Amino acid sequence: MERRLPRVLLAAPRSGAGKTTVVCGLLQALVNRGMHPAACKCGPDYIDPLFHSEVIGAKGCNLDLFFTAEDTARHLLAQSADGCEIAVLEGVMGYYDGLGGVTDRASAYHVAAATETPVVLVLDARGTSLSLCAQLKGFLEFRKPSNIQAVLLNRCSAMQFPMLQKAIGEECGIPVLGYLPALPQCALESRHLGLVTAQEVADLQEKLRTLAETLTETVDLEALLHLARSAPPLHWEEAETVPERTDGPVLAVAKDKAFCFYYRENLRLLQALGAKIVEFSPLTDQELPPCDGLYLGGGYPELYTKQLSENVAMREHIAEAIRAGLPTFAECGGFLYLHQEMTGEDGTFPMVGVIPGGCRNTGKLRRFGYITLTANQDNLLCGAGETIRAHEFHYFDSDSNGTDFHAEKPVTGRGWECIHATDTLFAGFPHLYFPANPDFARRFVRRMRGVQ
């Protein structure tokens, strides 16, 4: 398959350089011009895509080359940008930072190379001048080709910009498309899992309006669009996904402020396999909707422990349904919710109670990064010995992490046991990415249909 898709990837030398702020402002600026951009995130992050979709309801996906092959990533990019005039990709961490911190595999650079996407490097100009040229030369020469074709300066003043633009052009031979001045009123706050979610940002639309208006004045958007249109056509092999049934089954997906971390590709794949998705709120609804399966995603349930606990009717309904054999997939925050109790920001409270013991914030990062999961026994999603690539990022720990899968780090080989998995339940800290092994999603849909 082939498709011509204008596209550009915004990357940076490190995390915290302002990629998300610039990307969100750029998306809004494109919308203000009457365009319909798609927005894709390199890597496994959930929160940045929430900002992308909150800005414009942008279509998009995660592009992660640990989870999938390069051809699959190209297909996902083309699929996610269907009906859009341009795709804006946001990098992850530093441009070359990949698996284990010691390779460029699964880095933003790897995604740019695999998708042949032109790169604009966002450089933080605060507290520096000519040294930016040395930094940029290192990025241009570290890998050949680097795919970096332009620069955008962040936290740069109008007075500073002409000097830096001239120096970078002369020293590095690369255009500077513009700059974003320091706008503290538009800052996006952070917490332990990264940025706060889009729903929690006060006056988000006002912040985005300011960012877009500023970028329109300080960035050569025509030059950026010209760069995006210079990208060659995307090529990929079409993978056929045949719905196993077109009239169901119904999958209840928890969706509210406490449970908001979902890979859109997971939901799209489940739908492509025939599942009908119905959203509900463990915070405010009194019972599950009529359904054949349950998906409890990640998020921030620890911020709403009291409210979740006080919704006794929902807790009891979920517990009864799971014990009666409702096929249930619960990851990270959803796994926490299934414990007997959770200690969150507002105290320790009873939860659903199907996972023994409690869970609590340890105050430090417990697990972080990519893993490969191997099943120790047959279960809801797969047979013994089958594998899927996944990701963990959590400060919480549990009295009962489970022992039904073996997790292994891709670079160090370090491993541990995790996850509660039975014929009807999969619950644990790891976040699964179903396109990494579509058979896991296929089996989940079959089990919702009552097929072994």
Question: What radius of gyration do the chain's Cα atoms show?
Answer: 22
Residue count of the chain: 452
Q: Give catalytic status of residue 332 as yes or no.
A: yes
CA distance 181 to 450: 57
CA quadruple 422, 353, 370, 443: dihedral positive or negative?
A: positive
Q: Side chain identity at 260, as an amino acid letter? A: C
From residue 67, alpha-carbon distances to 42, 100, 136, 176, 352 in Å are: 11, 14, 29, 33, 31
Asked if residue 26 lies in contact with residue 48, where contact means CB atoms within 8 angstroms, the answer is: no
Give the residue from 207, 419, 432, 415 showing the smallest Cα distance to 298: 432
Give the list of residues 6+ apart from residue 34 with CB closer than 8 angstroms, or none: none
Q: Which of 24, 61, 156, 332 is catalytic?
A: 332
- Contacts of residue 131, defined as CB under 8 A and 6 or more positions apart, other chains included, come to none
Number of CB atoms found within 10 A of residue 273's CB? 22
Best CA proximity match to 332, nearest among 261, 425, 226, 241: 261
Q: Which among 346, 278, 277 is positioned nearest to 308, based on CA atoms?
A: 346
Say if CB 146 and CB 140 are below 8 A apart: yes
Contact by Cβ (8 Å): 418, 430: yes
**Contact by Cβ (8 Å): 137, 174:** no
User: What per-residue string of b and e applies to 170-204 under the rule 16 or more CB within 10 Å gives b?
Assistant: eebebbbbbbbbebeebebeeeebebbbbeebeeb
How many CB atoms lie under 10 A from the CB of residue 346? Answer: 13
| Active-site amino acid positions | 332
